[in-house]
Structure 1
């Protein structure tokens, strides 16, 4: 069993490192301290035991089982869309380059889209609808390959839109080696007519103030809005309104995770309707804090 040598893999804060371990036989089998003696004392100097040269690879050559980390880059981390009339769409793309081995990648929005310049007040609003849509949010990218992921800008109001997205990827054979790249999407919505603040009953834009200077009417108490619509106005939403399952073989299953977010100060109870086959939801009731 001894002498022994090997490696320990350590990963923390998206950084990884291999530590070489060597156990010498003469130290491992040292019995100079009596078993009954509970005190700790340093071992006397020992002569280093000869280590077999075949146990470890040369210093300039990595072990055969170690795989180089994936090197994925985005050419431009700020994607700017052309000015787009509200209710219309425009297209752009994210160019991704893989300079390492084959990787699996995933795209997801980091935060909801924010809009500034809706009116002349300079307030910042949070859009509760999908302002940037990506039809393809996962896949694989071959070694030393490039790809362009199309993204659609769908403004419903005037103003300057901005949203952060994350590109997460890992080698196909090593899902634990994850890396994440954050990038920003920017676009301007154009609307004909004078600038005006959103109406009180409009839930598509929510002001980001922590406290309002004036009391807003309560649509639920007035009977003008259902509890679900009220929850949406208070900040319960899904980052996307369209989700696609990965290609799945006949007879097999695949799972898609939908993240619901609550930006309000209250806890909301969510109930999902049971879908028809071939779809299935494991839990239909949730409490979202």
Structure 2
């Protein structure tokens, strides 16, 4: 019973066969379950479901194990129906499922939990915008996807002029701006197989951050929005984060950064680098391998 069973009849990935649960696991001596990882597991994926993905047998097996783990989580959880639908939609698309495995270092259980968490966030309003809504906001050019990759093969996103954010917030909410850039990540950046494996680095030039915009971003409702998106991006969003660099942050950043830092995983918070001109050019070149800001 439950939402998953009701959806399986129309779901070729989840409904891999009447004996799928038997292939999923067998009870070990401790009463737990032990996932199989032989070639038969990998064959449970639909023949046309990998969409040209070249995977080792081990990674195919990890995808199958993740499918089963996610199914069990959905059957035993109290997720709202719309959240379960979002999770199932991702399970139907092997490339999206693969992103969660990449972020989780191919730990099927961790990937399944992240996917379910992601669905819960999306059902509560933290989801990518539609392509049409995103196009309007992205046309302002707040975030630039740099053609070059950093030294570890990551994509590099650049916020070159933070004044654009202030202009966007005159006609859009911060939630709408954030949702548009979630769409950018999911539909334009993470579609690259190498970037899925390596991740994304971000450089923000805050030299033009006005005190007025800083006050706006420090308002309780706006700050709460930033905290929610920061937690979502760092705990449930299927993206590996590399270098996070802030250039020429004004002293007023102290009004926001302590709160944001509190929701970052410790290792990620400690990796955030604050640089100042003129030294920032050389430091960025050392980190990224190319010049990105004058």
The TM-score, its normalising length taken from structure 1, stands at: 0.23
Is the radius of gyration larger for structure 1 or structure 2? Answer: 1
Identify, as 1 or 2, the structure richer in strand.
1
